Amino acid sequence: MADAAERDAMRRALELARRGPRGVNPQVGALILSPTGDVLAEGWHRGAGTAHAEVDALSRLAPDAARGATAVVTLEPCNHTGRTGPCAVALLEAGVSRVVYALDDPTAVASGGAERLRAGGAAVEAGVLADEAHDLLDSWLTVQQLGRPFVTVKWAQSLDGRAAADDGTSQWITGPAARADVHRRRAEADAIAVGTGTLLGDDPSLTARYDDGSLYESQPAPVVIGRSAVPADAAVRRHPRPLSIFPTHDLAAILAELRAAGAHRVFVEGGPTLASAFLAAGLTDELLVYVAPVLLGGRRLALGDIGVGTIASARRLSVTSLDTLGDDLLVVASPRNGDH
């Protein structure tokens, strides 16, 4: 059972982990404690190719200073040689006699560190402050489970299911409170995707902005999907982050590239064609539907063909939340198991 000093050290390790970048590798923090519970060293992972948190902490100690010490780590020490060696071995070689960690490593390539530590004679305790660690690594863990980024598909519609009036105008169906909520959610994403149809029709900037027009500090990377050329003067080319253009309809391949670039959460905001394509491909994990109390009628439906030919094939959803935003309603829903 972890004692009070080890639990306090885990809280500190979680704070340190947040200093690391969110990307392909998990955010991890580590502390080395003396046998009496004093902090000997701290460390965290600073990104791909850099020392892992445990090794970062050990590097701050003199030789043999960690002998008999306890390592407190937010994620199971890895048992893998990649750009760096296995942390489980590094801890054993340093003489660490006890390892306390929060979460098991879910990846097949890196897991097994706890078993290796035990085989090397170290005492190991798992699950300390696991809920807090899970909150920290939620998006990274989701990517490991899905094998791709978590995809949110968003659209705004009238009460009768239209995304625009018959002449194509759509600004604005929803009110300022709903639009502010969209920008807040954009800032939480790693990438924001739009189709070339919407790009050419609306010329969106794809930035996350406050009500006064200023930019959020955190910005999603802009992504354009489709074969039409992006104009040289398009607003998205002035985005503070580099623009990625995918002249393909292979959504799975696009998500694989975005994952390789470190994207955990992709926000799809690209109009009916792109939204329908993600849904038809079963590549949607969350739906955000902003419904305005207005009627438009006409042909401009919020969704096109998603592969449902009969009611028996309907995509069934579970509603996560219903929120009122000014005059508008936000429905947050996710596919039921098997209905991706």
Q: What is the CB neighbour count within 10 angstroms for residue 292?
A: 21
Please report, as a single letter, which amino acid is at residue 216: Y
Q: What is the CB neighbour count within 10 angstroms for residue 197?
A: 16
**Which residues are 154's β-sheet partners?**
288
Q: Which tokens hold the place of 29? A: 């923090």
Please pick, among 54, 76, 269, 286, the residue that the annotation labels catalytic. 54
- Per the CB < 8 A criterion, the answer to whether 285 and 138 are in contact is no
Cis peptide before 44 (omega within 30 of 0): no
Instruction: Find the radius of gyration of the CA atoms of the chain.
Output: 24
DSSP class per residue in 136-179:
HTHHHHHHHHHSS-EEEEEEEEETTSBSS-TTS--TTSS-HHHH
- Per the CB < 8 A criterion, the answer to whether 2 and 10 are in contact is yes
- The alpha carbon of 325 is separated from its chain's Cα centroid by a whole number of angstroms, namely 25
- The alpha carbon of 303 is separated from its chain's Cα centroid by a whole number of angstroms, namely 25
- Per the CB < 8 A criterion, the answer to whether 161 and 173 are in contact is no
CA 332 vs CA 74, 95, 286, 287: distances in Å: 31, 50, 7, 6
Confirm whether 115 is a catalytic residue: no
Q: Which tokens hold the place of 329? A: 């309603």
**Whole-angstrom distance, CA of residue 118 vs CA of residue 88:** 10
Q: Three-state SS for 323?
A: strand
Using the Cα atoms of residue 322, residue 325, residue 328 and residue 334 in order, give the sign of their dihedral.
Answer: negative
| Active-site annotation, residues | 54
